[in-house]
Amino acid sequence: MNVFTAMNRRISSLLMPLLALTLLAGIPLAPMGTADARVGARMAPFTLPAIPGGPTRGRMALADKLGEDVIVVLFWATWCIPCRQELPVYQELYQQYRDQGLTVVAISMDDSSSLPQAAGWARRMNLTFPVLSDLDTSVTNRINPRRTAPFSIWIDHEGRINREHEGFNQGERDDIQAGIAALIRARNAD
């Protein structure tokens, strides 16, 4: 084993207590965060380009809509069949609520070899909201590190994550409809 590996082990044995101490130090300073997985946390913004031939053009910066609209982020890929069932459901909701402050954004996890087909699928599903690509996987690694598909994130009008959900089933349509309607109502009530 080389020096580097031994060094790594020394670093890790120093780092962990240090990190834990940092976290411990942070506890008395502020109200406690929730134990839920990122629900309630602020959504980190990202900027990604639209897929070639997709429904929109140019780059989309989530920061433009954070704190204003109710946002839905959908991770999908051309090889994922349930994704192709989920996206049309949100397309309906988008058409219904876009004037009331709903933003929907789909991120394709396809790599450069299957990305060209994403536009074809977007057309067949008649999507009108932005469909973006993440070729260097940096955004996906942060927000959906296990690259599950489909994966949906709901963000409320204050920019906080309201729901994260893996998978899609037709039986969930009513829940999705009700949930989004509630978020829109909350936004427009303010």
Partner 1 sequence: MSKLKMLMVGALTLCLAWGCDDEETPPTPDAMPMTDASAGDAMSTPDAEPEGLLCGWSDDDFDWGVMIGRNMRPLTLSRCDGTEFSLPHAGMCNPTDVVDTENVRFSVLIMSAGWCAPCRRESEMLSEFLTDVYKAHGVEVIQVLTATEGPDLDQAYCDAWVSTYDLDRPNFAMLMDPGNTQTGRYFPAGSLPANLIVDNSGIIQFREYGAETRLTSVTNRLDELLCENYTERCGG
Partner 2 sequence: MSRLGVVLALACVVTVPSAVSAQDGEGEGWTLPGFGETNFSLTSTSLAQYRLDNFDDNVYNDDFFSLTERIDLSLDGEELSLSVRLDGFLPIFGESPASGGPSVGNRCPPGEEFRCEIEWDLRPERIALRWRPENWDIIVGDSYAVFGRGLALSLRKVASVGVDTTVRGLQVRYDRGRFFAQALGGYANSQNLDPVNLSLIEEHPDFLFGARVGTRLGEYEDLEFGMHGVHMISLAGCEDSGPCDFFFSPIPDLVADVSATTVGWTFSAPALMDGEMSFYAEANMMLREEDPLNENQEGERYWGRAIYSSAQFMRGGLSALLELKDYHDFLLARSNGMRAFHVYSSSPTTDLETEQLRGVANARGGALRLTYAFSPGPWSAGVGGIMYGHEDEDRRADPFEGILARHIYAEVSRENHAGMGELGWAFEMSAGYRRETYLHDPAGDIFNEGDVEAEVYHGSAELVLSQGHHSVDISVQNREENHAGFITYQRYRRGGVSLTYSWQSEFSISPALRWSTERATTQPIYYPSVEAKWVFDHGSHLRVFGGRNPGGRVCSGGVCRDVPPFQGVQAELVYRL
Interface ranges with partner 1 (CB under 8 A): 1, 6, 9-10, 12-13, 16-17, 20-21, 23-24, 27, 32-35
Contact yes or no for 93/177 (Cβ under 8 A): yes
Which of the residues 23 through 52 are near partner 2 (CB under 8 A)? 23, 26-27, 29-42, 44, 47, 49-52
Is residue 100 a contact point for partner 2 (CB under 8 A)?
no
Site string for partner 2, 138-177 (x = CB under 8 A): x--x---xxx------------xx--xxxxxxxxxxx---
Compare residues 101 and 158 and give the one whose CB is closer to partner 2: 158
Using CB under 8 A, which residues numbered 54 to 93 contact partner 2? 54, 57-59, 79, 81-82, 84-85, 88
Residue closer to partner 1 (CB basis): 39 or 135: 39
Dist. CA 50–CA 89, nearest whole Å: 21
All residues at 6 or more sequence positions from 144 whose CB lies less than 8 Å from its CB, including other chains: 75, 109, 151
Residues 6 or more apart from 87 whose CB is under 8 A from it? 74, 76, 106, 125, 127
Nearest by Cα to 151 from 105, 185, 92: 105
